[in-house]
């Protein structure tokens, strides 16, 4: 089945730094989504991308749909302590229906 | 509050037992999804219901079953529990079968001892 690989698996950064993470797949995706999971909570949708090359922002977060359609990137600018959590990429399983496959997540820790 | 309600928040039970997890979707959402999140497997899709009918099955064990009731709430039944079933179980909902914009609940943490 499809697998989504996220890198890095974890990051420990200083408050104020910019963050970059990515998600890659062996197969093409026609939609990419980025979710954030706070400790003890369920994932929350941050950004959805629907077209190759698309660049979408949500506040300090910017995500891009890779041109090859096999990858996506999430950047966070000027990180703050509340950015702590696990960031997941997701895409439709087998590019059919709306069941999502999730990546393994990138755990972000921010030092004040 | 996401609008998706899951109960209970925590559950501790013994091996061999059976438990029921409950989910109320966000108002207006017809589609419900169940996911299992364990440390070594990440978020794994279990099953989807839409307006009372099963729509898709993922990596759901035969010991597990689910249903969606006329009021759209859903229950996930886990039986003959094993230690390896310990995980977070999330319910998510979306408006219809075409939307990938899921709203997740806060999850039920199941511990099998």
Contact B102 A45 (CB under 8 A): yes
Whether residue B99 lies within 8 A of chain A, CB to CB, comes out as yes
- B97 has pLDDT over 80: no
The pLDDT of residue B1: 84
Render pLDDT for B4-29 as a digit per residue (tens, 0 to 9): 999 999 999 999 999 999 999 999 99
Whether residue B80 lies within 8 A of chain A, CB to CB, comes out as no
Which pLDDT band holds residue B42 (cuts at 50, 70, 90)? Answer: confident
Nearest CA in chain B to A48: B101
Q: Is B46 helix (H, G, I), strand (E, B) or coil?
A: strand
- Give B6-45 as a 3 state SS string: EECCEEEECCCCCEEEEEECCCCCCEEEEEEEECCCEEEE
Strand order in the sheet with B19-24: B5-7, B19-24, B74-78, B64-68
The pLDDT of residue B22: 98
Chain A positions touching B58 (Cβ under 8 A) are: 93, 99
- B59 has pLDDT over 90: no
Contact B42 A93 (CB under 8 A): no
Distance from CA of B28 to the nearest CA of A (A): 17
Q: Cβ–Cβ contacts within 10 Å for residue B64, how many?
A: 19
Contact (Cβ atoms closer than 8 angstroms) between residue B17 and residue B82: no
Region B40-62: mean pLDDT is 90
Region B68-96: mean pLDDT is 96
Q: What percent of chain B has pLDDT over 90?
A: 86
The pLDDT of residue A1: 58
B63 torsion bin: left (phi>0), alpha (psi -120 to 50), beta (else): alpha
- Tens of pLDDT along chain A (112 residues)? 568 999 999 999 999 999 999 999 988 999 999 999 998 899 999 999 999 999 999 999 999 999 999 999 999 999 999 999 999 999 987 656 678 899 999 999 999 8
d(CA B87, CA B94): 23
Sign of CA dihedral A18, A46, A56, A105: positive
Residue A97's nearest CA partner among B47, B24, B3, B61 is B47
């Amino acid at each position: 089945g499809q697998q989504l690989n996220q890198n890095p698996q974890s990051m420990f950064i200083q408050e104020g730094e910019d963050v970059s993470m990515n998600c890659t797949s062996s197969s093409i995706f026609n939609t990419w989504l980025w979710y954030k999971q706070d400790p003890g909570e369920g994932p929350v949708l941050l950004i959805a991308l629907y077209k190759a090359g698309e660049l979408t922002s949500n506040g300090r977060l910017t995500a891009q749909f890779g041109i090859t359609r096999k990858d996506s990137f999430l950047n966070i600018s000027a990180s703050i302590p509340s950015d702590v959590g696990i960031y997941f990429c997701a895409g439709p399983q087998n590019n059919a229906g709306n069941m999502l496959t999730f990546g393994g997540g990138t755990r972000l820790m921010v030092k004040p | 509050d996401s609008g998706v309600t899951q109960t209970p928040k925590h559950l501790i039970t013994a091996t061999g037992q059976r438990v029921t997890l409950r989910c109320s979707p966000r108002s207006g959402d017809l589609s419900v999804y169940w996911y299992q999140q364990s440390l070594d497997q990440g978020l794994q899709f279990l099953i989807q219901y839409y307006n009372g009918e099963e729509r898709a099955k993922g990596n759901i064990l035969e010991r597990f079953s689910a249903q969606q009731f006329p009021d759209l709430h859903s229950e996930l039944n886990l039986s003959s529990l094993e230690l390896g079933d310990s995980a977070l179980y999330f319910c998510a909902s979306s408006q219809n079968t075409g939307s990938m914009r899921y709203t997740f609940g806060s999850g039920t943490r199941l511990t099998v001892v």
